[in-house]
Amino acid sequence: IVVLGIGGSALGTIALRSALRSPRWNELDQTRRNGSPRLHVLENIDPTSVHELLDRLALDRTLFVAISKSGGTAETMSQYLIVRDRLEKALGDRAHHHMVLVTDPKNGALREIATHEGTVAFELPSNVGGRFSVLAPVGLFPLAAVGVDIDALQAGAREMATRCENDDLSNNPAGTFALLQWLADTELGCHNQIMMPYSDPLREFSAWWVQLWAESLGKIRPDGTRVGPTPIPALGVTDQHSQVQLFMQGPRDKTLTFIVVKQVPVDITIPKLHQNVTELAYLGGHTLKELLDVEQRATAAALARNGKPSMAIHIDQIDAHHLGAMIMMLEYATIYAGALYGVDPLDQPGVELGKQFTYAQLNRPDAESARKEWAALPKPQPKFV
Ligand code: PA5
Protein backbone atom coordinates (compact mmCIF):
# COMPACT_ATOMS: atom_id res chain seq x y z
CA ILE A 1 0.00 0.00 0.00
CA VAL A 2 1.30 3.42 -0.88
CA VAL A 3 -0.23 6.49 0.71
CA LEU A 4 -0.04 9.68 -1.35
CA GLY A 5 -0.55 12.70 0.90
CA ILE A 6 1.18 15.50 2.74
CA GLY A 7 0.95 17.27 6.12
CA GLY A 8 -2.03 16.06 8.10
CA SER A 9 -2.79 13.52 5.40
CA ALA A 10 0.50 11.71 6.02
CA LEU A 11 2.16 12.49 9.35
CA GLY A 12 -0.30 10.64 11.61
CA THR A 13 -0.08 7.49 9.53
CA ILE A 14 3.72 7.65 9.56
CA ALA A 15 3.73 8.17 13.34
CA LEU A 16 1.42 5.26 14.03
CA ARG A 17 3.00 2.93 11.51
CA SER A 18 6.38 3.56 13.13
CA ALA A 19 5.02 3.07 16.64
CA LEU A 20 2.66 0.16 16.16
CA ARG A 21 4.37 -1.95 13.49
CA SER A 22 7.86 -3.37 13.51
CA PRO A 23 10.48 -0.67 12.83
CA ARG A 24 11.55 -2.65 9.78
CA TRP A 25 8.03 -3.57 8.68
CA ASN A 26 8.61 -3.00 4.98
CA GLU A 27 11.71 -5.18 5.04
CA LEU A 28 9.95 -8.19 6.63
CA ASP A 29 8.75 -11.05 4.50
CA GLN A 30 5.04 -11.78 4.19
CA THR A 31 4.98 -14.43 6.92
CA ARG A 32 6.54 -12.11 9.45
CA ARG A 33 4.06 -9.41 8.42
CA ASN A 34 1.22 -11.91 9.12
CA GLY A 35 0.15 -11.61 5.51
CA SER A 36 -0.37 -7.85 5.77
CA PRO A 37 0.99 -5.60 3.05
CA ARG A 38 3.94 -3.25 3.25
CA LEU A 39 2.99 0.38 3.85
CA HIS A 40 4.85 3.26 2.25
CA VAL A 41 3.91 6.91 2.71
CA LEU A 42 5.01 9.15 -0.11
CA GLU A 43 4.75 12.43 1.70
CA ASN A 44 6.96 14.68 -0.35
CA ILE A 45 7.48 15.53 -4.00
CA ASP A 46 11.23 15.21 -4.16
CA PRO A 47 11.68 13.35 -7.45
CA THR A 48 14.47 11.27 -5.94
CA SER A 49 12.14 9.60 -3.43
CA VAL A 50 9.19 9.39 -5.81
CA HIS A 51 11.33 7.71 -8.45
CA GLU A 52 13.07 5.44 -5.96
CA LEU A 53 9.75 4.10 -4.64
CA LEU A 54 7.67 3.91 -7.81
CA ASP A 55 10.43 2.29 -9.76
CA ARG A 56 10.70 -0.76 -7.55
CA LEU A 57 6.99 -1.40 -6.98
CA ALA A 58 5.09 -4.17 -8.71
CA LEU A 59 2.15 -2.00 -9.78
CA ASP A 60 -0.19 -4.96 -10.24
CA ARG A 61 0.28 -5.80 -6.55
CA THR A 62 0.09 -2.23 -5.23
CA LEU A 63 -2.84 -0.25 -3.89
CA PHE A 64 -2.40 3.52 -3.89
CA VAL A 65 -4.37 5.58 -1.38
CA ALA A 66 -4.53 9.22 -2.44
CA ILE A 67 -5.48 11.31 0.58
CA SER A 68 -6.40 14.97 0.43
CA LYS A 69 -9.03 16.74 2.47
CA SER A 70 -9.28 19.61 0.00
CA GLY A 71 -8.83 17.23 -2.90
CA GLY A 72 -6.66 19.74 -4.70
CA THR A 73 -3.29 20.04 -2.91
CA ALA A 74 -0.65 20.55 -5.61
CA GLU A 75 1.83 18.08 -4.14
CA THR A 76 -0.62 15.23 -3.59
CA MET A 77 -2.33 15.84 -6.91
CA SER A 78 1.03 15.71 -8.69
CA GLN A 79 1.77 12.38 -7.05
CA TYR A 80 -1.71 11.20 -8.01
CA LEU A 81 -1.29 12.21 -11.65
CA ILE A 82 2.10 10.47 -11.91
CA VAL A 83 0.78 7.29 -10.31
CA ARG A 84 -2.43 7.31 -12.30
CA ASP A 85 -0.49 7.63 -15.56
CA ARG A 86 1.82 4.76 -14.63
CA LEU A 87 -1.08 2.57 -13.55
CA GLU A 88 -2.95 3.19 -16.79
CA LYS A 89 0.11 2.43 -18.87
CA ALA A 90 0.82 -0.76 -16.93
CA LEU A 91 -2.66 -2.05 -16.22
CA GLY A 92 -5.05 -0.35 -18.67
CA ASP A 93 -8.70 -0.72 -17.59
CA ARG A 94 -7.73 -2.30 -14.30
CA ALA A 95 -5.91 0.85 -13.17
CA HIS A 96 -8.75 2.19 -11.03
CA HIS A 97 -8.89 -1.04 -9.00
CA HIS A 98 -5.49 -0.02 -7.65
CA MET A 99 -6.55 3.36 -6.36
CA VAL A 100 -8.54 4.36 -3.27
CA LEU A 101 -9.28 7.98 -2.42
CA VAL A 102 -9.86 9.68 0.94
CA THR A 103 -11.31 13.15 0.64
CA ASP A 104 -14.08 15.60 1.49
CA PRO A 105 -17.61 14.17 1.07
CA LYS A 106 -18.60 16.81 -1.46
CA ASN A 107 -15.84 19.13 -2.62
CA GLY A 108 -12.57 19.05 -4.51
CA ALA A 109 -10.97 17.39 -7.51
CA LEU A 110 -10.63 13.96 -5.89
CA ARG A 111 -14.31 13.85 -5.01
CA GLU A 112 -15.14 14.86 -8.59
CA ILE A 113 -12.96 12.03 -9.92
CA ALA A 114 -14.53 9.56 -7.48
CA THR A 115 -18.05 10.56 -8.47
CA HIS A 116 -17.28 10.54 -12.15
CA GLU A 117 -15.32 7.31 -12.32
CA GLY A 118 -16.80 5.33 -9.44
CA THR A 119 -13.44 5.04 -7.67
CA VAL A 120 -13.70 3.80 -4.09
CA ALA A 121 -13.54 6.94 -1.94
CA PHE A 122 -13.74 7.23 1.84
CA GLU A 123 -15.23 10.37 3.29
CA LEU A 124 -13.23 12.63 5.55
CA PRO A 125 -15.97 14.54 7.39
CA SER A 126 -16.01 18.21 6.36
CA ASN A 127 -15.54 19.41 9.93
CA VAL A 128 -12.32 17.43 10.50
CA GLY A 129 -9.18 19.35 9.52
CA GLY A 130 -6.11 17.63 8.03
CA ARG A 131 -3.87 17.63 11.10
CA PHE A 132 -6.74 16.40 13.29
CA SER A 133 -7.65 13.58 10.91
CA VAL A 134 -5.45 10.62 11.82
CA LEU A 135 -8.34 8.96 13.68
CA ALA A 136 -10.59 9.37 10.62
CA PRO A 137 -10.19 7.25 7.44
CA VAL A 138 -7.03 9.23 6.63
CA GLY A 139 -5.12 7.16 9.17
CA LEU A 140 -7.57 4.38 9.96
CA PHE A 141 -7.76 2.89 6.47
CA PRO A 142 -4.03 2.42 5.78
CA LEU A 143 -3.32 1.45 9.38
CA ALA A 144 -6.10 -1.15 9.46
CA ALA A 145 -4.70 -2.57 6.23
CA VAL A 146 -1.41 -3.35 7.97
CA GLY A 147 -3.12 -4.94 10.94
CA VAL A 148 -3.21 -2.09 13.45
CA ASP A 149 -6.07 -2.56 15.91
CA ILE A 150 -8.10 0.51 14.96
CA ASP A 151 -10.89 -0.36 17.39
CA ALA A 152 -8.40 -0.11 20.24
CA LEU A 153 -7.03 3.12 18.79
CA GLN A 154 -10.51 4.64 18.77
CA ALA A 155 -11.44 3.23 22.19
CA GLY A 156 -8.33 4.84 23.70
CA ALA A 157 -9.18 8.11 22.00
CA ARG A 158 -12.79 8.00 23.18
CA GLU A 159 -11.77 7.34 26.77
CA MET A 160 -9.31 10.22 26.68
CA ALA A 161 -11.89 12.56 25.12
CA THR A 162 -14.06 12.06 28.20
CA ARG A 163 -11.13 12.83 30.51
CA CYS A 164 -10.27 15.93 28.52
CA GLU A 165 -13.73 17.40 28.85
CA ASN A 166 -13.42 17.48 32.63
CA ASP A 167 -13.84 20.93 34.20
CA ASP A 168 -11.47 19.95 36.99
CA LEU A 169 -8.10 20.95 35.52
CA SER A 170 -6.04 18.59 37.67
CA ASN A 171 -7.98 15.67 36.17
CA ASN A 172 -7.82 16.98 32.63
CA PRO A 173 -4.47 16.10 30.99
CA ALA A 174 -5.11 18.15 27.85
CA GLY A 175 -6.11 21.23 29.83
CA THR A 176 -3.04 20.85 32.04
CA PHE A 177 -0.67 20.39 29.09
CA ALA A 178 -2.12 23.37 27.20
CA LEU A 179 -2.14 25.67 30.21
CA LEU A 180 1.43 24.84 31.27
CA GLN A 181 2.79 25.35 27.77
CA TRP A 182 0.84 28.59 27.27
CA LEU A 183 1.94 29.99 30.63
CA ALA A 184 5.55 28.99 29.98
CA ASP A 185 5.44 30.76 26.61
CA THR A 186 3.58 33.90 27.61
CA GLU A 187 4.83 34.37 31.21
CA LEU A 188 8.32 32.85 31.18
CA GLY A 189 9.35 33.50 27.58
CA CYS A 190 9.64 29.77 26.84
CA HIS A 191 8.71 30.13 23.19
CA ASN A 192 10.41 26.89 22.11
CA GLN A 193 8.62 23.73 23.16
CA ILE A 194 10.38 20.43 22.76
CA MET A 195 8.76 17.01 22.53
CA MET A 196 11.25 14.34 23.48
CA PRO A 197 10.07 10.74 23.67
CA TYR A 198 12.54 8.31 25.23
CA SER A 199 11.45 5.71 22.72
CA ASP A 200 12.52 4.97 19.16
CA PRO A 201 9.02 3.86 18.07
CA LEU A 202 7.75 7.33 19.06
CA ARG A 203 10.36 9.28 17.10
CA GLU A 204 7.85 10.12 14.35
CA PHE A 205 5.15 10.90 16.90
CA SER A 206 7.01 14.12 17.66
CA ALA A 207 6.87 15.10 13.98
CA TRP A 208 3.10 14.61 14.04
CA TRP A 209 2.81 16.78 17.18
CA VAL A 210 5.10 19.46 15.73
CA GLN A 211 2.73 19.95 12.81
CA LEU A 212 -0.32 19.94 15.06
CA TRP A 213 1.10 22.51 17.47
CA ALA A 214 2.78 24.77 14.88
CA GLU A 215 0.11 24.93 12.21
CA SER A 216 -2.68 25.32 14.77
CA LEU A 217 -1.17 27.95 17.08
CA GLY A 218 1.25 30.06 15.04
CA LYS A 219 -1.18 32.80 14.06
CA ILE A 220 -2.01 36.49 13.91
CA ARG A 221 -4.68 37.30 16.48
CA PRO A 222 -7.65 39.51 15.61
CA ASP A 223 -5.86 42.46 17.34
CA GLY A 224 -2.89 42.03 15.00
CA THR A 225 -0.44 40.50 17.50
CA ARG A 226 1.54 37.47 16.41
CA VAL A 227 1.53 34.44 18.71
CA GLY A 228 2.58 30.83 18.74
CA PRO A 229 5.16 28.62 20.40
CA THR A 230 7.78 26.90 18.23
CA PRO A 231 7.58 23.12 18.62
CA ILE A 232 10.83 21.18 18.27
CA PRO A 233 11.21 17.42 17.93
CA ALA A 234 13.91 15.59 19.87
CA LEU A 235 14.65 12.00 20.82
CA GLY A 236 15.92 10.52 24.07
CA VAL A 237 18.61 9.46 24.61
CA THR A 238 20.03 10.30 21.18
CA ASP A 239 19.63 14.05 21.63
CA GLN A 240 21.51 13.97 24.91
CA HIS A 241 24.51 13.88 22.60
CA SER A 242 23.19 16.68 20.42
CA GLN A 243 20.51 19.26 21.26
CA VAL A 244 20.56 18.72 25.04
CA GLN A 245 23.67 20.90 25.43
CA LEU A 246 21.61 23.77 24.02
CA PHE A 247 18.58 22.86 26.15
CA MET A 248 20.72 22.90 29.31
CA GLN A 249 22.89 25.95 28.83
CA GLY A 250 21.33 27.88 25.97
CA PRO A 251 18.72 30.60 26.43
CA ARG A 252 15.98 30.07 29.00
CA ASP A 253 13.34 30.00 26.27
CA LYS A 254 12.37 26.33 26.21
CA THR A 255 10.10 23.75 27.78
CA LEU A 256 10.73 20.05 27.43
CA THR A 257 8.06 17.40 27.38
CA PHE A 258 9.37 13.87 27.78
CA ILE A 259 7.32 10.85 26.79
CA VAL A 260 8.21 7.97 29.08
CA VAL A 261 7.01 4.45 28.31
CA LYS A 262 6.70 2.12 31.31
CA GLN A 263 6.88 -1.30 29.69
CA VAL A 264 8.70 -2.29 26.53
CA PRO A 265 8.05 -5.58 24.69
CA VAL A 266 11.67 -6.73 24.93
CA ASP A 267 14.63 -5.73 27.05
CA ILE A 268 18.30 -6.63 26.88
CA THR A 269 20.62 -7.15 29.81
CA ILE A 270 24.05 -5.59 29.48
CA PRO A 271 26.61 -8.36 30.03
CA LYS A 272 29.02 -8.21 32.96
CA LEU A 273 32.23 -8.11 30.98
CA HIS A 274 35.47 -6.25 31.73
CA GLN A 275 34.61 -6.08 35.42
CA ASN A 276 38.04 -4.69 36.23
CA VAL A 277 37.48 -1.60 33.98
CA THR A 278 35.74 1.05 36.09
CA GLU A 279 34.19 2.86 33.10
CA LEU A 280 32.46 -0.37 32.02
CA ALA A 281 31.89 -2.43 35.16
CA TYR A 282 28.94 -0.33 36.46
CA LEU A 283 26.92 -1.07 33.31
CA GLY A 284 26.97 -4.86 33.54
CA GLY A 285 23.78 -6.43 34.93
CA HIS A 286 21.55 -3.45 34.14
CA THR A 287 19.19 -3.53 31.18
CA LEU A 288 18.99 -1.13 28.25
CA LYS A 289 15.51 -0.05 29.35
CA GLU A 290 16.84 0.68 32.83
CA LEU A 291 19.57 2.82 31.31
CA LEU A 292 17.02 4.64 29.14
CA ASP A 293 14.85 5.44 32.19
CA VAL A 294 17.78 6.41 34.37
CA GLU A 295 19.04 8.79 31.70
CA GLN A 296 15.61 10.38 31.26
CA ARG A 297 15.38 11.06 34.99
CA ALA A 298 18.95 12.35 35.01
CA THR A 299 18.20 14.74 32.15
CA ALA A 300 15.02 16.01 33.84
CA ALA A 301 16.90 16.60 37.10
CA ALA A 302 19.79 18.33 35.35
CA LEU A 303 17.33 20.59 33.54
CA ALA A 304 15.66 21.46 36.84
CA ARG A 305 19.07 22.27 38.37
CA ASN A 306 19.64 24.59 35.41
CA GLY A 307 16.28 26.26 36.01
CA LYS A 308 14.73 24.78 32.86
CA PRO A 309 11.10 23.62 33.01
CA SER A 310 10.22 20.12 31.88
CA MET A 311 7.30 17.72 32.25
CA ALA A 312 6.67 14.12 31.34
CA ILE A 313 3.81 12.22 29.77
CA HIS A 314 3.92 8.67 31.13
CA ILE A 315 2.27 5.86 29.21
CA ASP A 316 2.12 2.23 30.29
CA GLN A 317 3.07 0.79 26.93
CA ILE A 318 3.10 1.50 23.24
CA ASP A 319 -0.08 0.01 21.88
CA ALA A 320 -3.05 1.19 19.85
CA HIS A 321 -5.13 2.01 22.93
CA HIS A 322 -2.50 4.23 24.56
CA LEU A 323 -1.53 5.96 21.34
CA GLY A 324 -5.17 6.66 20.48
CA ALA A 325 -5.43 8.26 23.92
CA MET A 326 -2.25 10.30 23.53
CA ILE A 327 -3.33 11.56 20.12
CA MET A 328 -6.68 12.64 21.47
CA MET A 329 -5.07 14.28 24.49
CA LEU A 330 -2.77 16.37 22.31
CA GLU A 331 -5.57 17.25 19.89
CA TYR A 332 -7.71 18.52 22.78
CA ALA A 333 -4.69 20.35 24.19
CA THR A 334 -4.24 22.10 20.86
CA ILE A 335 -7.84 23.29 20.88
CA TYR A 336 -7.50 24.54 24.46
CA ALA A 337 -4.21 26.27 23.61
CA GLY A 338 -5.94 27.94 20.65
CA ALA A 339 -8.49 29.38 23.06
CA LEU A 340 -5.75 30.54 25.46
CA TYR A 341 -3.82 32.26 22.66
CA GLY A 342 -7.03 33.71 21.22
CA VAL A 343 -6.56 32.17 17.77
CA ASP A 344 -8.52 29.71 15.66
CA PRO A 345 -6.52 26.47 15.91
CA LEU A 346 -8.40 24.90 13.00
CA ASP A 347 -7.35 27.18 10.15
CA GLN A 348 -3.99 27.84 8.46
CA PRO A 349 -4.25 31.14 6.55
CA GLY A 350 -0.48 31.61 6.69
CA VAL A 351 0.22 28.93 4.09
CA GLU A 352 -2.11 30.48 1.51
CA LEU A 353 0.17 33.15 0.03
CA GLY A 354 2.92 30.63 -0.72
CA LYS A 355 0.33 28.46 -2.48
CA GLN A 356 -0.85 31.43 -4.54
CA PHE A 357 2.73 32.27 -5.58
CA THR A 358 3.19 28.63 -6.59
CA TYR A 359 0.04 28.76 -8.72
CA ALA A 360 1.20 32.07 -10.19
CA GLN A 361 4.50 30.59 -11.38
CA LEU A 362 2.75 27.54 -12.82
CA ASN A 363 0.18 29.75 -14.60
CA ARG A 364 -2.89 28.39 -12.87
CA PRO A 365 -5.69 30.38 -14.54
CA ASP A 366 -7.40 31.49 -11.31
CA ALA A 367 -4.18 32.94 -9.84
CA GLU A 368 -4.24 36.19 -11.85
CA SER A 369 -3.85 38.60 -8.92
CA ALA A 370 -1.07 36.49 -7.37
CA ARG A 371 0.67 36.49 -10.75
CA LYS A 372 0.74 40.29 -10.80
CA GLU A 373 2.03 40.45 -7.24
CA TRP A 374 4.63 37.79 -7.98
CA ALA A 375 5.83 39.63 -11.09
CA ALA A 376 6.31 42.83 -9.08
CA LEU A 377 8.42 41.19 -6.36
CA PRO A 378 12.18 41.65 -6.35
CA LYS A 379 13.80 38.30 -7.15
CA PRO A 380 17.06 37.57 -5.39
CA GLN A 381 19.73 36.41 -7.83
CA PRO A 382 21.95 33.68 -6.36
CA LYS A 383 25.60 34.62 -6.78
CA PHE A 384 28.26 31.92 -6.66
CA VAL A 385 31.64 33.08 -5.47
O1 PA5 B 1 -3.55 20.28 8.73
C2 PA5 B 1 -3.77 20.69 7.61
O3 PA5 B 1 -4.88 21.16 7.28
C4 PA5 B 1 -2.73 20.63 6.53
O5 PA5 B 1 -1.48 20.28 7.02
C6 PA5 B 1 -3.15 19.61 5.48
O7 PA5 B 1 -3.24 18.34 6.04
C8 PA5 B 1 -2.19 19.59 4.30
O9 PA5 B 1 -2.00 20.87 3.80
C10 PA5 B 1 -2.73 18.70 3.20
O11 PA5 B 1 -3.97 19.16 2.81
P12 PA5 B 1 -4.99 18.24 2.05
O13 PA5 B 1 -5.35 17.11 2.93
O14 PA5 B 1 -6.15 19.12 1.74
O15 PA5 B 1 -4.30 17.75 0.81
Q: What is the pLDDT of residues 137-167, one digit of tens each?
A: 999 999 999 999 999 999 999 999 999 999 9
- Name the pTM for this structure: 0.96
- Tell me the CA–centroid distance for residue 66 and ligand 1, in Å: 12
Per-residue model confidence (pLDDT) at position 40: 98
Considering 116, 187, 241, 314, which one is annotated as catalytic? 241
- Tell me the CA–centroid distance for residue 69 and ligand 1, in Å: 6
For the chain, list residues with pLDDT below 50.
none
Cα separation, 308 vs 301, whole angstroms: 9
> Of 68, 81, 76, which Cα lies nearest the Cα of 108?
68
| 73 CA closest ligand 1 atom index | 15
Per-residue model confidence (pLDDT) at position 385: 78
Helix (H/G/I), strand (E/B), else coil: 179: helix
> Ligand 1 pocket: which residues have CB below 6 Å?
6-9, 68-70, 73, 76, 129-131, 215, 348
Provide the β-strand partners of residue 100. 65
Considering 43, 75, 204, 215, which one is annotated as catalytic? 215
Dihedral sign of CA atoms 26, 58, 119, 356 in order: positive
Per-residue model confidence (pLDDT) at position 124: 96
CA-proximal residue: ligand 1, atom 9 (nearest): 7
- Catalytic residue list contains 355: yes
- Catalytic residue list contains 89: no
> Of 309, 332, 1, which Cα lies nearest the Cα of 160?
332
Per-residue model confidence (pLDDT) at position 382: 83
CA-proximal residue: ligand 1, atom 3 (nearest): 130
- Tell me the CA–centroid distance for residue 130 and ligand 1, in Å: 5
| 132 CA closest ligand 1 atom index | 1
Q: Out of 70, 76, 209, give the residue to mutate to test ligand 1, the one with the largest number of ligand atoms within 8 Å of its CB.
A: 70
- Catalytic residue list contains 106: no
Provide the β-strand partners of residue 123. 103
What type of residue is 125? P
- Tell me the CA–centroid distance for residue 68 and ligand 1, in Å: 7
Kind and range of the H or E run holding 219: strand 219-220
- Tell me the CA–centroid distance for residue 197 and ligand 1, in Å: 25
Per-residue model confidence (pLDDT) at position 49: 96
Per-residue model confidence (pLDDT) at position 383: 86
CA-proximal residue: ligand 1, atom 8 (nearest): 7
Per-residue model confidence (pLDDT) at position 384: 83
Per-residue model confidence (pLDDT) at position 380: 83
